[in-house]
Structure 1
Amino acid sequence: MIKQLKPSALSAQIEDMVEWLASYGLEQSGGVTRLLYDQAWSSAQKAIQAKIEQLGLTACYDDVGNLFGRLAGKDPEAKVILTGSHIDTVTGGGKYDGAFGIVASLLAVEYLLTHHGQPLKPIEIVSLCEEEGSRFPMTYWGSGNITGVKDRDTIHNVKDANGISLEQAMRDAGFGSGLHSPPKRTDLECFIELHIEQGEVLERKGKSIGIVSHIVGQRRYNITVYGESNHAGTTPMQWRQDAMFTAAEMIRLLTHRAKADMSGLVATVGHMEVKPNVGNVIAREVTFSLDVRHSDAGTIEQFCETCFREFETIAAEHGTRLMYHKWMDEPPVAMDHTLNEAAEDILRREGISYKRMTSGAGHDSQIFGTYCPTALLFVPSRGGISHSPAEFTHTEDLQRGVLLLIDLLYKLAY
């Protein structure tokens, strides 16, 4: 079916639309910054709204700022085939993260409407208002409201770095006052998200498409080691209660354990705070982050339990104590097998190489995946670089993703 489309024309459209959307929030560095409810974010949503209306679709917002473009179906009882991604970025991010999924959905629905007319089931494009957590200490505000796992009661006292509350920012952007429809949806048949991989698996394996079976679970801790400050020159090594030395041994242990695990588990320490943080004083207190991810919740649990038992032994050996604060515990989420099979059938028929894989990064699909059948599809990222102005995907790879989305939406809605 998609062979009717001229590849050169599609490539030009993709490139133009990626640059068009990146122009909202584009910085001199080449990075893109669109934070939830800021001016660049608002301008981008309005531009997408205009594009939706230009295509002949019905545009509407919900009351948290998610934007939808609806292509009505012939069957008034049919549920909605939803496709899209998120509009927000990290600070100084790339042009493709989130944005490509919106561009691809616009192009796919435009093609289907032009060549096949009205579908049997309604198709909606969604530009989700937020995923990244870049402005406020909270993620998945858009998809969370659609699925009902988040609402206004969960954001009291949530503020950005400038002390502006999420509620105030939402009102300033024209949302949150009841002028738009409530965000919770009960009419979704499925959700399809096309996204850049943000890793280098597909590129290293020479595959064109990734079909995600699971989005990994994530568990995050802040771990604090308490020791005793003392003089760096006059305190013998054997008498020290050194929080830094204790933390270093713990970090070394968990890194070696994670490397020895051959099931795909990853563990990361990316942040550390030291007190008093003075070069000639033994550290009395060290707090370090721990991020553990895997596609099986039991594996995460076992890894953490094993490491923490050994942490206690290490702490006791050095006369220090520990405190753990678990602040995230997201379970793994499976994507829909039937939707994945449908995507694989298309790829096999078209002779496009693909790989079944897990996603080590979080996506809106993990929120939708517990609510309705969901598919997350990847295109390669050059060098695995993302959240950076250097983020890049070759147009040919973007094109293959759009063609797959066209065929998959046709199969589901027509």
Structure 2
Amino acid sequence: MIRELTRLLDELSDYSEGTDPGVTRLLYTDAWLDAQRYLAGQMAEAGLETRFDAVGNLYGRLPGTEPGAKVILTGSHIDTVRSGGKYDGAYGVVAGVAALMYLKRMYGAPKRPLEVVSFCEEEGSRFPLAYWGSGNVTGVYDWRHVGDMVDEDGVSLREAMLRSGFGKEELGECRRSDLAAYVELHIEQGMVLEHMQKRIGIVETIVGQRRYAVTLEGTANHAGTTPMTMRQDAAAGAAECIVRLEALASQWGEPLVATVGKIEAQPNTPNVIAGSVDFTLDIRHADEWKLNAFSELALSEIERIALRRRLKHRMTPWLSTKPVPMNQALARGAERICQQLILPYRRMVSGAGHDAQLLAAACPAAMVFVPSRGGISHSPSEYTDPAMLADGVAMLVSMLYELAYEEQLS
């Protein structure tokens, strides 16, 4: 199974745009379309029934023997960030294909239908949206009403979708009401499992997020002739805000994190005091009350610093998601399987967003992590040892067997 898994991952990684290192596979590009077609061929060779829906989500189905039984779904997303790694998303898809191949070969047809999905998009790398694949499955989006959003080249989402052969009624409805459970296998994209020497992470909650665009405005002036006591330095104000936010987040402790990831100063000249600074603030926590409380504290601290420094300030929220708990019955089942397979594990929070957080509103959902070397992800250096990839597939096989063959989920 390890050989088959690594073969699929290696071959899938060849479908990439350009010559930059890593994998770049953006929604509705040629590389993306070729990758989905490749996966469809692999699913068909494995004896699965394949189909695309109207947005390009790809399904491989192993039919069940029980009439009218709801579907057990597994998988992840096929798209990547620019110059990303070959495991993020793709691992969950190829692991699902490998798991269904194994179950079909060893046990034949399940009672409940089993399906593996390659969601068309999750990352938000091309258009100003994310979870386009799972969002259409769960009703968050409707592909018939895409608005006028365009990519950086001015290509509209509708145009790109049609160009790839999707966005057509005859492909069928995207939204699913026939799901009994969803299990997503994923690399951790962090360093917790590696640091704690655990082979499996069982996700209890996917964090909620708050994101803000912050602007501080002072006065641009000569760097040599303006005394320090007479300055309205937006860069110094931003620096103080950033250091203060880091200290506050550290005091609150895990799993809260706060990040200033993007900073732009104007006029951005070596010998001119910055007249304005724009920066982003990303706050995440698994508890909604604490997430809201820290967000309010962070904004009040920015305001306090700005007022003391005589800077105008503007704070604009642009993302707000709630924490999403995973299904506890599925998590307990995963824990029991880890014990049976003698795999060291830990329960944990996911600090990154995943398709499972959308599926959780439609059916019981579970997420299982395997370690990422050095915690590196969204990078050509992304890597997980093949033996650990195989651990994840063994977990997935056992979970899917219980759900689809033994019907353990009520």
Sort the TM-score into its range (normalised by shorter chain). Answer: over 0.9
Query: Which of the residues 168, 177, 181 maps onto 1:186?
Result: 177
1:7 alignment partner in structure 2: none
Query: Does 2:54 match 1:99?
Result: no
Q: Provide runs of 4+ in structure 1 moved above 4 Å.
A: 26-30
Query: Does 2:394 match 1:403?
Result: yes
2:296 alignment partner in structure 1: 305
Query: Which of the residues 275, 298, 309 maps onto 1:318?
Result: 309
Query: Which of the residues 94, 105, 108 maps onto 2:99?
Result: 108
| C-alpha deviation, 1:179, in angstroms | 2.6
| C-alpha deviation, 1:370, in angstroms | 2.3
Query: Does 2:208 match 1:223?
Result: no
Q: Distance in 2 between matches of 1:217 and 1:248?
A: 26
Query: Which of the residues 130, 152, 163 maps onto 2:143?
Result: 152
Q: Distance in 1 between matches of 2:23 and 2:226?
A: 50
1:143 alignment partner in structure 2: 134
| C-alpha deviation, 1:175, in angstroms | 0.4
Query: Does 2:281 match 1:290?
Result: yes
1:197 alignment partner in structure 2: 188
Which amino acid in structure 1 is aligned with residue 319 of structure 2?
M
TM-score, L = length of structure 1: 0.95
| C-alpha deviation, 1:111, in angstroms | 0.8
Deviations 1:300-335 (A, max 9, x none): 111121122222221111111111110000110000
Residue 203 of structure 1 aligns to a residue whose secondary structure is helix
Q: Distance in 1 between matches of 2:4 and 2:44?
A: 18
| C-alpha deviation, 1:371, in angstroms | 2.2
Which amino acid in structure 1 is aligned with residue 164 of structure 2?
A
Map 1:384-403 onto structure 2 (within 5 A): 384-403=375-394
TM-score, L = length of structure 2: 0.96
Q: Distance in 1 between matches of 2:196 and 2:237?
A: 39
Paired residues of 1:225 and 1:243 also in contact (CA < 8 A) = yes
| C-alpha spacing 1:401/1:24, structure 2 compared with 1 (3 Å) | same
| C-alpha deviation, 1:220, in angstroms | 0.3
Map 1:287-366 onto structure 2 (within 5 A): 287-366=278-357
Paired residues of 2:191 and 2:374 also in contact (CA < 8 A) = yes
Q: Distance in 1 between matches of 2:303 and 2:372?
A: 40
2:408 alignment partner in structure 1: none
Query: Does 2:252 match 1:261?
Result: yes
Paired residues of 1:37 and 1:169 also in contact (CA < 8 A) = yes
| C-alpha spacing 1:282/1:328, structure 2 compared with 1 (3 Å) | same
The Cα RMSD (Å) is 1.3
| C-alpha spacing 1:100/1:26, structure 2 compared with 1 (3 Å) | farther
Task: Please say which of residues 21-30 and 373-382 is displaced more in the overlay.
Answer: 21-30
Which amino acid in structure 1 is aligned with residue 153 of structure 2?
N
Map 1:55-94 onto structure 2 (within 5 A): 55-94=46-85
| C-alpha spacing 1:48/1:273, structure 2 compared with 1 (3 Å) | same
1:6 alignment partner in structure 2: none
Q: Distance in 2 between matches of 1:331 and 1:145?
A: 19
Which amino acid in structure 2 is aligned with residue 38 of structure 1?
T
Deviations 1:189-235 (A, max 9, x none): 11110000011111111111100000011110001111122222222
2:160 alignment partner in structure 1: 169
Which amino acid in structure 2 is aligned with residue 218 of structure 1?
Q
Paired residues of 2:189 and 2:375 also in contact (CA < 8 A) = yes
2:4 alignment partner in structure 1: 13
Residue 169 of structure 2 aligns to a residue whose secondary structure is coil
Residue 358 of structure 1 aligns to a residue whose secondary structure is strand
Which amino acid in structure 2 is aligned with residue 262 of structure 1?
G
2:239 alignment partner in structure 1: 248
Paired residues of 1:27 and 1:92 also in contact (CA < 8 A) = no
Deviations 1:229-266 (A, max 9, x none): 22222222222222111111111110111112223211
Which amino acid in structure 2 is aligned with residue 135 of structure 1?
R
Residue 167 of structure 2 aligns to a residue whose secondary structure is coil
Deviations 1:44-95 (A, max 9, x none): 1111111111122111111000001111111121111000000001111111
Which amino acid in structure 2 is aligned with residue 208 of structure 1?
R
Residue 152 of structure 1 aligns to a residue whose secondary structure is coil
Query: Which of the residues 22, 29, 35 maps onto 1:31?
Result: 22
Q: Distance in 1 between matches of 2:306 and 2:10?
A: 53
Which amino acid in structure 1 is aligned with residue 309 of structure 2?
H
Paired residues of 1:29 and 1:389 also in contact (CA < 8 A) = no
Q: Distance in 2 between matches of 1:326 and 1:348?
A: 43
Task: Give aligned pairs, total.
Answer: 405
1:381 alignment partner in structure 2: 372
Gaps of 5+ in 2: 406-410
Residue 32 of structure 2 aligns to a residue whose secondary structure is helix
Which amino acid in structure 1 is aligned with residue 179 of structure 2?
L
1:3 alignment partner in structure 2: none
| Identity over aligned pairs, percent | 49
Q: Distance in 2 between matches of 1:283 and 1:154?
A: 42
Paired residues of 2:179 and 2:362 also in contact (CA < 8 A) = no
Residue 171 of structure 2 aligns to a residue whose secondary structure is coil
Q: Distance in 1 between matches of 2:17 and 2:317?
A: 36
Which amino acid in structure 2 is aligned with residue 42 of structure 1?
L
Which amino acid in structure 2 is aligned with residue 275 of structure 1?
Q
| C-alpha deviation, 1:389, in angstroms | 1.0
Gaps of 5+ in 1: 1-9
Q: Distance in 2 between matches of 1:163 and 1:36?
A: 14
Query: Which of the residues 94, 117, 123 maps onto 2:108?
Result: 117
| C-alpha deviation, 1:25, in angstroms | 1.2
